[in-house]
Amino acid sequence: MAYEWPLEPEALFLERYPHMTSTGMPAVDVDGVRAEITDMWADGPGGWVHEWSRVARRYAGAGRHDLAALAYGWAKFPSLANTTRRDAFEHQLSEYLLAASGFDVGFERRVVTVPDGTGGRVDVPVHLFAVPGVAADVPVLLVSGGVDTWKMDLHAVLVGFTQLLRVRVLAFDLPGTGDTPGPMTPHGGAAIVTGLIGHARGFGARRIGHLGVSMGGHYAARSGLEGAVDAAVVLGGPVERAFAPGWKPSFGMDGIVGNALGLTAPPGPADWDTLMPPFSLRPLLDQDRNAPMLVVNGADDVHVPPHDTLVFEGRRDTRTLLLPDAGHCAVRKLDEVLPETIAWLTDALGS
């Protein structure tokens, strides 16, 4: 179940250029494909997948499987809405696994079977990272990306947290995205996260943390508000106002989310106003309990309103940072955000 929708590639470059370069893609390559791409969905020269895949194949041929995986990651962006993007995603995984022997930390890909929220079970591929020789009881940090940026796309961040925090990192994709089966639903996603937290506790870890980026931040906020983890970091997570009737994100995010929800056609305004309010965390926000939480975003985020960060101000054991001119997930100020996050997690997890 997937669909294409009207989307201008230049609009995505305008919004995502800092993200493309900050996650490791050389600017010269980003500039090159930007000059060539004229259509988001065309299967041929000038098409998004075609041009990004050319870059990926060049790196694969040179043995730079790490950069090939990054390029294929942008080729399948922003959603597995057609066959060419699903093929690019498979190529990304192949290149990523080829690059794994050169990772600076230990790596394992495994499949974890957890409840799906409907009484059934679902197989969730996860990536585990650890510095060789760490003790069995070191803290585990779950990390989840958003609806269009998945665990392989966040590789540099995952390795950084593994090395600097000296924790075991368990990375996964949200349901309906990446290689986690969908669709994404409020309770189904929560059930999967709860199952993964239980799996992490089975390692014997003395503490469990959850860091979520964008929509992953929504589920990290849920983990923190429920007290299901010992610490939660919410980076650009929608929690309430972003799901309210009348709020419609830009830059194609409605189509990206619609695909994650398992829809087969673009939702209209009325559909959006029906589908999204159940994701609101207002019932949990009304409770006077939570694990220690760090909530961060850019004040000018085009997808998530400032309210969804500021609503955490004044809560017990909670620190909020709303940074000006930082963009969605404060991506333009990661040089400030990541050290702050590392320091906060070091204290919160005792790592």
Span 2-29, pLDDT tens digits: 899 999 999 999 988 988 998 889 999 9
In this predicted structure, what is the pLDDT of residue 261?
Answer: 94
For the chain, where are the alpha helices, taking DSSP H only?
A: 9-22, 27-36, 48-61, 65-76, 83-99, 155-165, 186-201, 215-226, 253-260, 269-275, 282-285, 307-310, 334-349
- Please report which helix (H) or strand (E) contains residue 171, including its range: strand 168-172
Confidence label for 1 from pLDDT (cuts 50, 70 and 90): low
Q: What residues contact 188, with CB distance under 8 A and at least 6 apart?
A: 116, 117, 118, 175
Question: With bands split at pLDDT 50, 70 and 90, how would you rate the model's confidence at 197?
Answer: very high
Q: What is the pLDDT of residue 267?
A: 84
The CATH number given to 105-349 is: 3.40.50.1820
Q: What is the tens place of the pLDDT at every residue in 48-102? A: 999 999 999 999 999 999 999 999 999 999 999 999 999 999 999 999 999 999 9
Q: Model confidence over 91-121: pLDDT tens digits?
A: 999 999 999 999 999 999 999 999 998 899 9
Mean residue pLDDT of the chain comes to: 94
Q: What is the pLDDT of residue 249?
A: 66
The arrangement of strands across the sheet holding 168-172 comes to: 106-115, 121-130, 168-172, 140-144, 208-213, 231-235, 293-298, 318-323
32-43: average pLDDT:
97
**Would you list the domain boundaries of the chain?**
9-100, 105-349
DSSP, res 331: G
DSSP state of 8: -
In CATH terms, the superfamily for domain 9-100 is acylaminoacyl peptidase (1.20.1440.110)
Judge whether residue 351 has pLDDT over 80. no
Owner of token pair 């041009």 = 51
Please tell me the distance from the alpha carbon of residue 192 to that of residue 109, in angstroms, as a whole number: 17
Burial degree of 104 (CB within 10 A; 0-12, 13-18, 19+): exposed
Question: Side-chain half-sphere of 239: how many Cα atoms within 13 Å?
Answer: 30
Cα–Cα distance, 93 to 101 (Å, whole number): 14
pTM of the predicted protein model: 0.95
Q: Is the pLDDT of residue 342 over 70?
A: yes
Alpha carbon 155 to chain centroid, angstroms = 11
Q: Parallel, antiparallel, or unpaired for β 140-144 and 121-130?
A: unpaired
Dump pLDDT digits (tens) for 328-337.
999 899 999 9
Q: In which residue are the tokens 């080829």 written? A: 98
DSSP-derived 3-state class of residue 160:
helix
User: What is residue 207's three-state secondary structure?
Assistant: coil
> Average pLDDT in the 258-264 region?
93
Q: What is the pLDDT of residue 222?
A: 97
pLDDT confidence bin for 140, thresholds 50/70/90: very high
Q: Look at residue 22 in the predicted model and tell me its pLDDT.
A: 84
